Chains A and B, each alone.
Chain A
Amino acid sequence: MSREYENDGALHAKLIEEVLSHYPDKAAKRRKKHLNVAKSGNEAGGESEVLSECDVKSNIKSIPGVMTIRGCAYAGSKGVVWGPVKDMVHISHGPVGCGQYSWSQRRNYYVGTTGVDTFGTMQFTSDFQEKDIVFGGDKKLEQIIDEIEVLFPLNNGITVQSECPIGLIGDDTEAVSRKKTKEYDKTIVPVRCEGFRGVSQSLGHHIANDAIRDWVFDKKDVKFEAGPYDVNVIGDYNIGGDAWASRILLEEIGLRVVGNWSGDATLAEIERAPKAKLNLIHCYRSMNYICRHMEEKYGVAWMEYNFFGPSQIEASLRNIAKHFGPEIEEKTEKVIAKYRPLVDAVIAKYLSRLEGNTVMLYVGGLRPRHVVTAYEDLGMVIVGTGYEFAHSDDYQRTGHYVKNGTLIYDDVTGYELEKFIEGIRPNLVGSGIKEKYPVQKMGIPFRQMHSWDYSGPYHGYDGFAIFARDVDLAINNPVWDLFHAPWKRSRGDERAMAAE
């Protein structure tokens, strides 16, 4: 249900001009390149029409002191890519904080006996002290791995997630990993994801992907009988159960999901991935690297898909099915038909309550475009969107989703986001925990779009129903009408008085 609308590009251009005028000149010059208004796409045709062009600079250093919302490479590796692999122990190697703040916060759901054969919601740290900085931490790392083997013998592997100091003091975590791999005959993966590397989480994703290539693939003789309909789901971290709500559909259309990366994953699922027929990639930003590698080295094709909202789910299912031929295509049509009444009922229930409501998004590297159509399926309008850590290929892809006049902001600063929201006053903002409370204080409904605000799943048909419910409960809660104390003149009145 792609909706036709155009956004107020003139207003958005003015807002950009206004925020830039508050920066010191040097910073204004740099920030200008990251802010823009989407323009009508001139190239049309092919399979999918380009709706607009989102021409901004991206994936470059954040400016000091402006309150970037970005994280670091460690967050990209430990927090996103590796952390969800449930049967491995992930050591946050360095001081205590990084592991502490990221402990259990991404809601990568799994099933297992935590602390025994599964380690997802635990925080393993080498808790670096001054002496480790001075004398190096390699000996300590060896000892840590020994202690893990004593206390958690059912782990199927270990990763060493380097924090900032490791790279600065010249530790050789690779040598320790090699030595201990030999000693225990177990997969031990050093990941050089020190937080100062790169400009955001993004390089951490890449480094984590490379670590899979260099330290997992082709290291063991993988016994697995491959089938004709084997696929991997890549870049679904099972937040609130997303990957499960996706898997159930893929299985229904007749595919066999032999690996899920990396939500609810075991190491075995990663090791066997090259044997699959097709890689289905959801979060392109964080895992395209390994898909390209598997294509080059093992000939595994890959395909992007989008399981947010019925329009995209249907299109994606059909695309995937096409790859496998008529038998799967036929099943797919049945599955789409089976879920159609649910979709219709959900839309019938919520469309009238949400239609025409405006939304601003600011998320990581995928959702700022991927969720656009899901809102539109509910009759809503996306007025602004932007990424923390996208690259230019992400902004190109964004052009397929957003309409002319949409405000585009890359690596937005706290100041800009606040001013944009104030200027536009959308009906809903979808962003992260750091943005949630400032926005709500302004009287604007908010949903966290990283953690699904402790709800979810949002993927798949089951997820769409939850998404619709959550958007409705955020916007239509009575609390937003209680902000104003009735004995106080409203701010609008005060402004009118002042103008007189």
Chain B
Amino acid sequence: MPQSAEKILDHAPLFREPEYRKMLAEKKLNFECPHPDEIVSDQRDFTQTWEYREKNLARKALVVNPAKACQPLGAVFAAAGFERTMSFVHGSQGCVAYYRSHLSRHFKEPAAAVSSSMTEDAAVFGGLKNMVDGLANTYQLYDPKMIAVSTTCMAEVIGDDLHSFIQNAKDEDSVPRDFDVPFAHTPAFVGSHVDGYDNMVKGILEHFWKGQERTQVEGAINIIPGFDGFCVGNNRELKRLLDVMGVSYTFIQDASDQFDTPSDGEYRMYDGGTKINEVKKALNAEATLSLQHHNTRKTLGYCEEVGQATASFHYPLGVQATDEFLMEVAAISGKEIPEAIRLERGRLVDAMADSQSWLHGKKYAIYGDPDFVHAMARFVMETGGEPTHCLATNGTSAWEAGLKKLLASSPFGKAAQVWAGKDLWALRSLLFTEPVDLLIGNSYGKYLERDTGTPLIRLMFPIFDRHHHHRFALFGYQGALRVLTTILDKIFDKLDRETSETGVTDYSYDLTR
């Protein structure tokens, strides 16, 4: 009997015990009707070949292990970045359960959102009644300052019109007439979560800005961070830099406090976020900067429409990307970049110089959201690494073109390949046929790590199986220092593991590296 009260074995060791191994082997033999072992191992080997890769990349319809989610997830994340805002997703209720779970599993935090709980009758007659009742219930139960409405694909397929539905709900006194209910249509069959983010932020800005007089405040800057699983660490780090510079700025959408509430006995359903007054005033800013170009195309277009200057970045991570961001901020705000920040920069470069021999020539596969992949490829090249495979399932042709231009600008990007629209099963073939030293992505990459042996570095949403990484910044020089250390740790740990067998590799297991 493997179990004892003294040493309780849970699943990880328990099923390795002989009783269970025997039981599972017999189950397989007697009851599972498996394919013969040889056929399985032949097929496994075949999946590692160029021939399989070609078939795999030729896929036109099937998607396997994509690295993207659907629009409303982005909308719910976006709404969480505004003061006391409840997400109300119009459509089937199961979707909302999924968004909440997904966000909670990554942030290890509560994630509140409600659904209009449409069922079959609503599919036939439309979901107006659900909207009218739902807004009234949400308003009364959860005491929000704003309700941000988005849609599931069900509501989109049947063509529910949010604008008129919300108007109707107000006519029926579901919420007060002057209560803010911005909305965005977020069909799951168009784009991905980054577009849902874009649509929701644009919807909120339009709600507050439309028809308002704009009086430009020189030097004032709006910052839109984009969908970012590291918002907790990143936004705070960026604010620190901007404060050091003395810039007048407003974050439009900031979920850093919402997804990092303290444990002190009180459950805060809402915390932090951009104040509604600030959103209104943000119309007057001289410029709006997007930290993630591919996350905010529509929103930035709207900012231009109202007369603001705009500029966009690709996730300001690493040396030159941070330089560019700070210089743009300096140019608009008229504030100088202080000496303290120059010293920070110097310390990062110092660290990179200290470690360059371990990083030079290392090959990487990088996947994730478009701007993140762009940023990471750029930083990897700054360290002398080669971003061999750059993949974004939700990458567009414009993303591909922009990234290719970046890669062509450095000798370290010459051999790089860009894979827009491909999934992680495609990446599996790429890793087998053109291997790399390191894989950068999120938790889903662990299956690639297991199959191909490529060490995985988790630096992007969602991270389910490691804790608290998102609480630390990747942005700015400080963030880059953390990314650098994370990469180095992975390299050193691997080297130590590979040289740790006494009597075999006593050499190379060096005390100083």
Contact = CB atoms under 8 A, between A and B. Distances in A.
A185 to B, nearest CB: 16
B172 to A, nearest CB: 11
Interface string A192-210: 0001111101000000000
Nearest to B2: A462
A314 to B, nearest CB: 16
Interface residues of B, number: 107
Contacts of B88: 65
A65 B135 contact: yes
A483 B264 contact: yes
A70 B265 CA distance: 26
A114 to B, nearest CB: 7
Interface string A205-224: 00000000000000000000
B15 A115 contact: no
A41 interface: no
A231 B275 CA distance: 61
B69 A116 contact: no
Contact of A268 (B6, B33, B72, B153): B33
B92 A72 contact: yes
A87 B69 CA distance: 25
Interface in B85-126: 88, 91-95, 97-102, 104-105, 108-120, 122-123
A456 interface: yes
Contacts of B120: 196-198
Contact of B73 (A97, A259, A465): A97
Contacts of B97: 68-72, 75, 434
Nearest to A117: B40
Contacts of A368: none
Interface string A470-497: 0000000001000111000001000000
Interface stretch (B53-61, B366-374, B404-412): B53-61
Interface string A84-122: 000100000011111011110100010101111100011
Contacts of A457: 10-11, 14
Interface in A235-250: 240-241, 244-245, 247-248
Given A342-B3, A346-B5, A441 B28 contact: no
A324 B277 CA distance: 73
A436 B104 contact: yes
Contacts of A153: 43
Interface string B1-42: 111111011110011000110011001100111110001100
B152 interface: yes
B134 interface: yes
A187 to B, nearest CB: 13
A440 B104 CA distance: 13
Nearest to B136: A24
A284 interface: no
Nearest to B102: A101
Contact of A345 (B2, B4, B31, B269): B4
Nearest to B394: A96
Contacts of B192: 96
A97 B116 contact: no
A394 interface: no
B100 A434 contact: yes
B190 interface: yes
Interface string B136-172: 1110111000000000111001100000000000000
B485 interface: no
Contact of A68 (B117, B140, B190): B117
Contacts of A468: 8
Given A97-B70, A97-B73, A266 B4 contact: no
Given A259-B31, A266-B32, A342-B3, A98 B190 contact: no
Contact of B68 (A100, A147, A201, A469): A100
A101 B189 contact: no
B152 A164 contact: yes
B451 interface: yes
Contacts, number: 342
A121 B447 contact: yes
Nearest to A125: B63
A150 B5 contact: no
B117 A63 contact: yes
A148 to B, nearest CB: 6
Interface size grouping (class) on chain A: 35 or more
B66 interface: yes
A24 B65 CA distance: 44
B494 interface: no
A125 B451 CA distance: 21
B267 A418 contact: yes
A126 to B, nearest CB: 7
Contact of B66 (A127, A132, A144, A257): A127
A150 B55 contact: yes
Contact of A433 (B34, B104, B187): B104
A484 B69 contact: no
Nearest to A19: B141
Contacts of A349: 5
A460 to B, nearest CB: 9
A127 B158 CA distance: 19
Contacts of B135: 65
A142 to B, nearest CB: 8
A121 to B, nearest CB: 7
A135 to B, nearest CB: 12
- Which of B70, B112, B131, B261 has the most chain A CB atoms closer than 10 A to its own CB? B70
Contact of B118 (A24, A95, A196, A241): A196
A116 B157 contact: no
A499 B4 CA distance: 53
B243 to A, nearest CB: 25
A169 interface: yes
Nearest to A62: B117
Interface in A148-181: 148, 150-151, 153-154, 156, 163-165, 167-169
Interface of B: 1-6, 8-11, 14-15, 19-20, 23-24, 27-28, 31-35, 39-40, 43-44, 47, 52, 55-56, 59-66, 68-70, 72-73, 88, 91-95, 97-102, 104-105, 108-120, 122-123, 130-131, 133-138, 140-142, 152-154, 157-158, 187-190, 192, 261, 263-269, 425, 428, 444, 447, 451
17 contacts: A65-B114, A65-B137, A67-B113, A72-B94, A95-B70, A96-B69, A109-B15, A113-B40, A115-B47, A115-B428, A196-B123, A196-B154, A441-B265, A466-B8, A466-B9, A466-B11, A484-B264
In the A-B complex, list the 9 residue pairs whose CB atoms are closest, starting with the nearest: A72-B94, A65-B134, A97-B70, A64-B134, A345-B5, A101-B98, A95-B188, A65-B137, A268-B33
Given A65-B116, A269-B31, A462-B14, 13 more contacts: A66-B137, A71-B93, A71-B98, A121-B447, A123-B64, A123-B65, A147-B60, A195-B94, A198-B120, A266-B33, A443-B263, A455-B11, A462-B2
